[in-house]
Amino acid sequence: MGTQAFTPDYSNEVDERDAREKAIDEWLPITSSRDAKWWYSAFHNVTAIVGAGVLSLPYAMAHLGWGPGVGVLVISWIITLYTLWQMVEMHEIVPGKRFDRYHELGQHAFGEKLGLYIVIPPQLIVQAGADIVYMVTGGRCLLRFHELVCKDCKKIKLTYFIMIFASVQFVLCHLPNFNAIYGVSLAAAVMSLSYSTIAWGASLNNGVQPHVQYGYKATTTSGTFFMFFNSLGSVAFAYAGHNVVLEIQATMPSTPEKPSKGPMWRGVIAAYVAVAICYFPVALIGYRIFGDKVDENIFKTLEKPVWLIAMANLFVVVHLIGGYQIYAMPVFDMIEYVLVKKLKFKPSWTLRIVSRNVYVAFTMFVGITIPFFDGLLGFFGGFAFASTTYFLPCIIWLAIHKPRKFSLSWFTNWICIVLGVILMIVASIGGLRQIILKAKDYKFFS
């Protein structure tokens, strides 16, 4: 009588695991909702790309001059639109699979471990760094508003205004996913267009100033050289939406007949038109009117009318509130992904409340402790912004598509890679010099 080998049935175990993984994906903020419209992409991208840094573009022009300044503005707009298109195209490059997160695309191109090491560090630097800068800048704008509308009031430290800005984030951070913050993002996008229009409109109203000059702002040869580098980075780093674009696209419905790249691309085009409307008039008109006398923030140069400048500062605050959430949502997703999938915590509102409040508290604490963090980000961001925005998408494209050597696609991507690497190096050099020069004036908890 023969014996029959026993074959265990693993189908139930596999089904349970798949069901558990699906339930987790439906809970995580990036993959929990996939019913976004194309216009969600438009104002999410406007909110992500157009930061308060647009107000420093005339100052950057004063260190670049007309030719290089206009050239960098235009070339950066074209290159980043091209690399953004690449990422939208690669979101569903594998049939039946969606790369919902930047690092997942990196893992597909470079391998499971190497992809994480290449993508996660610079992406986190951009996202967490931007949120810290938004904390500080939001506090400064509230402080400026207070000074403008209440000139005789008692002086209040920047710390308290950062805490006021953070208190809003402690509430909004509990919105579950990208689609839940579309209203906040829409308000932020409208505000970015509004304060940018105020910046160039009020400049035009002032008219070209007497004795305006368009020579380089720095007074020494070395100063001109290094500030050129630093300003090159300031203009180029104004385009940072790539760090959240796959996560935004993940919120859109997709079928083989109607892939998500169609509506996503429409949203990106609308966003980049809005970016051009914000960036080019502010940079060119602001520099044309004030020349090398323009301040780091054009609203400091535009002191009158007081009510308009005060209102513009509030507009900036509203935009920064939405911008903070756009950059924070992928970080929330990373934290919750690790806690639930790697450390096996149970998905719950308690876990989400604790983890997100800790992150907001961390960015607030760093902003209060180091209120000059935006100066430091010029250096650290040199590695992060340039890589994730200018040349990493091109490297991934070459690794996945493998275009024919010396073809148009091959040449285009290598040009972007070379320019991006050069930008990363020179911007880091310029940023490091600025840190060294200002180190003596830095004060913790100021």
d(CA 361, CA 138): 15
pLDDT of residue 238: 76
Cis before 393 (ω within 30): no
DSSP H stretches of helix in 150-252: 158-172, 182-206, 221-236, 242-249
HEC-encoded secondary structure of 70-131? HHHHHHHHHHHHHHHHHHHHHCCCCCCCCCCCHHHHHHHHHCHHHHHHHHHHHHHHHHHHHH
Cα 54 to its chain centre, rounded Å, is 13
Radius of gyration, alpha carbons of the chain: 23
Render pLDDT for 279-310 as a digit per residue (tens, 0 to 9).
999 999 999 999 888 888 888 888 778 889 99
Domain 34-441 has CATH 1.20.1740.10: yes
Let me know: does 294 contact 59? Beta carbons within 8 Å: yes
Question: Token pair 């840190």 is at which residue?
Answer: 435
Residue 356's Cβ-count burial label (10 Å; 0-12, 13-18, 19+) is buried
DSSP track, 326-360: HHHHHHHHHHHHIIIIIS-PPP-HHHHHHHHHHHH
Domain ranges for the chain, please list them: 34-441
Instruction: Give 17-23 contacts, CB < 8 A, sequence gap 24+.
Output: 23/347
pLDDT of residue 370: 82
Question: In this structure, what token pair is assigned to residue 294?
Answer: 């323009």
Cα 328 to its chain centre, rounded Å, is 10
Which pTM does this prediction carry? 0.90
d(CA 17, CA 23): 10
Residue type, 176: P
| Total Cβ atoms within 10 A of residue 299 | 22
pLDDT of residue 439: 66
HEC-encoded secondary structure of 117-137? HHHHHHHHHHHHHHHHHHHHH
Ranges in the chain, pLDDT < 50 = 1, 10
98 backbone dihedrals φ, ψ, rounded to 5°: -120, 130
| DSSP structure class, residue 440 | G
pLDDT of residue 10: 46
Residue 117's nearest CA partner among 359, 392, 343 is 392
No. of helices (H) and no. of strands (E), the chain:
17, 0
- H or E segment and range at residue 148: helix 112-149
DSSP track, 29-64: TTTS-----HHHHHHHHHHHH--GGGGGHHHHHHHH
| Total Cβ atoms within 10 A of residue 337 | 17
pLDDT of residue 404: 92
Residue 214's Cβ-count burial label (10 Å; 0-12, 13-18, 19+) is middle
